[in-house]
Structure 1
Amino acid sequence: MNLASLTLTNIQAATADVNDQVAELFQFHRGQDVFFMLMLVAFLMMFIRRYEWGVALATLLVFATSFPLYILAQTGIFGAELGIELIIGAAFAAITLVIAIGVFLGHISTISYILVGVLFVPSYIFIEWFLFTFLENVADAGGSILVHMFAAYWGLGVILGLRNKAVNQEPAATSVHSVSFVWLASMLLMVLWPSFVTALLPPEDIIPGMANTYLAMVASILVTYVILWALKRTIDPLVFTYAILAGGVAIGASVDLANPWQSWVIGLIAGAVSTLSFLFLDEWLRGKTGVWDTMGVHNLHGVPGIVGGLAPIVLGVAGGSQAIAVIGTLVIALILGAIVGLILRIMPRPTKMLDDAEAFPAEEMRATDPA
């Protein structure tokens, strides 16, 4: 090898190293957005005016438990290499749990959320194995099945196992201030959503994925408004601010597979089914099961997650494994969640439900608050 060819080889190797570093740093920033979204999910759930600090505390406790446990399990037990993709994977696990606790916020004592974090990680690692190792060719780059479906049905399993019906009688009054938190969180989540669904995609799929995500989400905005106006002649702010995110939930499984028109239609369908679930399915399920999905997680993440999970089949880019993934995730999540709910029965019941006073000296502060 002469000097010229040796120099060219060195330049090519150096260029490849630089490109790899740039790609990793870019992925780092998308990962940071995922962590930001995780915290925003807490604000999305702060609509009960006497239960805002408690929601934030529960979020931080499950994050502080599940995030390190996932990394320690993957590196210590399964031999995974610590890198940006593993960190993003751990963030996905944590945000899935933060979504899931929305189903049973207020149903358990604050200290129980630490146990929830510990018990969730094995469940999540199992569903990851089921979807991407046991099954083949499952399309779910952006987490419609892994994150949203699993969160919703795992959380439903928890309340079905726990059966704390007393929380059904607790007041859940809102205020302009508390609902404004939801508006802010919803709008910021919408801006950041492309980072979430493209966090693990190769660079060439990121910009099309971004376009597909925003197209799906704006379709949800329009259809949610139209349905609410047509059926109620007014806009329920909570239903609206939740259901407009359904397009982001549903596009996850086909974010790298759909074209722009398909993405818009997926968002349209997801927004419609989410809105209708909030209006009609929520109360029906509560009546049938006797338990209350506190934050309506099933309506935003469960049903649109199913729509998103099945979308690749309709688009003709996935087959039987995709259907098995959707059905299997629903069943596995309910079973694993119910087991956790049964375990949580041994923990102390909350002294106050849907109230910051369960963990904080809120009553004292309210007594001296001039407002």
Structure 2
Amino acid sequence: MLLSTYEVTEPVAELFQFHRGQDVFFMLMLVAFLMLFIRRYEWGVALATMLSFVVAWPLYLLISNTVLGIDINIESVILAVFCAITLVIAIGVFLGQISTIHYITAAVLFVPAYMFNEWFIFSFLDGVLDAGGSILVHMFAAYWGWGVILGLRNRKINDEPMKTSVHSVSFVWLASMLLLVLWPSFVTALLPPEEVLPAMFTCYMALVASALSTYLLSYILKKEIDPLVYTYAMLAGGVAIGATVNLVGPLTGWIIGFIAGLVSTWCFYYLHDWLNKTTGVLDTMGVHNLHGVPGIVGAVAAMVVAGAPLAQLWAILGTLVIGIVTGGITGLILKIFKEPKQLLDDSEAFDMTEARTPDSPLIHGEQHGGTAPA
């Protein structure tokens, strides 16, 4: 007896979605490498990422299943990793400004706030366009993170040096280039199979456009390329295209990406320092420049080129308010705890005394019982 078309295609579609979901998990880990540019603060960033992930991902699933009665399936698993990657992006705003153990507290407080914003956008409002997370993921990450630093008010971070090295910035180059390759999986993870390939083309068009416009504007403004600005802002097209990735063609996607790259680059060069001086707080990794503003660009683009209803505007404004308010509450709670003794330094969480000496086994590659291969 022949299987019906549904019985044949449904498992294949689910398996296809599973692999896109795996790519999103991989991207979450790559976000950590995107933030490893401070040469004395690499292990700490990786650990903060892991703590955020191992708390946020299962907590989202448990609340969905036990409180909301939602079955655990491939879609709920992907929704949970969306929540976790949003948190990992968000902690970039206040990385190094709290003790490592308190990222667990931040994650516990983040998940209900994220789920409330998710409900507001897709259940309370009707007709919001955001298949690839320009609002839900990128905007919320930036403004929840900014709420945290506004509540935390850890001004000491402004006096800490952020020294880099070729090695540390090379991590960022690698992560950025790999994220560019994987980004279509992220924005198409919840789309039906027939929409995936067209959306993939549109996503890549947006990404290559922002990689180009970032370079051109950097060259025009500075006559040289800042590797950190470039490796971050080149991804702005992927952030902005999320709201319309399944609704516009490659040319429109390219235009959205090109504009997003210009805006993100300008924010890194000018808005970042202005916000720091105006508010007195520091967005450690410049999350607002890559995720916040390009996220708004993408959300507004949905109104201009895809006919999004007025609900789109309410989603933008609501995400701003919900993010800043719930993030601010989180920052005030985190402020109760002791400030870390070392800011932007692995020694806050690890004993680095031996690791940083000239004769350290870590430097010379010695292993237990021998030496590492050449």
Partner Cα distance (1:351, 1:262) in 2: 49
Partner Cα distance (2:255, 2:75) in 1: 30
Question: Residue 316 of structure 1: CA displacement?
Answer: 3.9
Amino acid of the residue matched to residue 193 of structure 1?
W
Amino acid of the residue matched to residue 223 of structure 1?
S
Q: Does 1:28 align with 2:18?
A: yes
Amino acid of the residue matched to residue 350 of structure 1?
P
Secondary structure of the residue aligned to 1:158 is helix
Q: Which ranges in structure 1 are unaligned for 5 or more consecutive residues?
A: 1-6
Q: Within 5 Å, which residues of 2 pair with 1:1-371?
A: 11-13=2-4, 15-367=5-357, 368-369=359-360
- What RMSD in Å do the two structures reach over aligned CA positions? 1.0
Question: Residue 190 of structure 1: CA displacement?
Answer: 0.3
Contact 1:137–1:322, Cα closer than 8 Å, also in 2: yes
Partner Cα distance (1:210, 1:62) in 2: 28
Contact 1:154–1:338, Cα closer than 8 Å, also in 2: yes
Contact 1:257–1:317, Cα closer than 8 Å, also in 2: no
Contact 2:214–2:233, Cα closer than 8 Å, also in 1: yes
Q: What percentage of residue pairs aligned between the two structures are identical? A: 64
Q: TM-score, normalised by structure 2?
A: 0.95
Q: String of CA shifts for 1:38-81, please: whole Å, max 9, x gaps.
A: 00000000000000000000000010000010000000000001
Question: Residue 134 of structure 1: CA displacement?
Answer: 0.4
Partner Cα distance (1:89, 1:214) in 2: 22
Partner Cα distance (2:167, 2:254) in 1: 32
Q: String of CA shifts for 1:199-254, please: whole Å, max 9, x gaps.
A: 00001110111000000000001111111111111000000000000000000000
Question: Residue 331 of structure 1: CA displacement?
Answer: 1.3
Partner Cα distance (1:62, 1:21) in 2: 32
Aligned length: 361
Partner Cα distance (2:345, 2:256) in 1: 37
Contact 2:248–2:306, Cα closer than 8 Å, also in 1: no
Question: Paired residue for 1:3?
Answer: none
Contact 2:94–2:148, Cα closer than 8 Å, also in 1: yes
Partner Cα distance (1:245, 1:111) in 2: 30
Contact 1:216–1:265, Cα closer than 8 Å, also in 2: yes
Q: Which ranges in structure 2 are unaligned for 5 or more consecutive residues?
A: 365-374
Contact 2:219–2:225, Cα closer than 8 Å, also in 1: yes
Partner Cα distance (1:113, 1:295) in 2: 16
Contact 1:154–1:334, Cα closer than 8 Å, also in 2: yes
Higher helix share: 1
Partner Cα distance (1:40, 1:323) in 2: 31
Question: Residue 12 of structure 1: CA displacement?
Answer: 5.0
Amino acid of the residue matched to residue 146 of structure 1?
L
Contact 2:134–2:239, Cα closer than 8 Å, also in 1: yes
Question: Residue 317 of structure 1: CA displacement?
Answer: 2.1
Question: Paired residue for 2:368?
Answer: none
Contact 2:244–2:306, Cα closer than 8 Å, also in 1: no
Amino acid of the residue matched to residue 93 of structure 1?
C
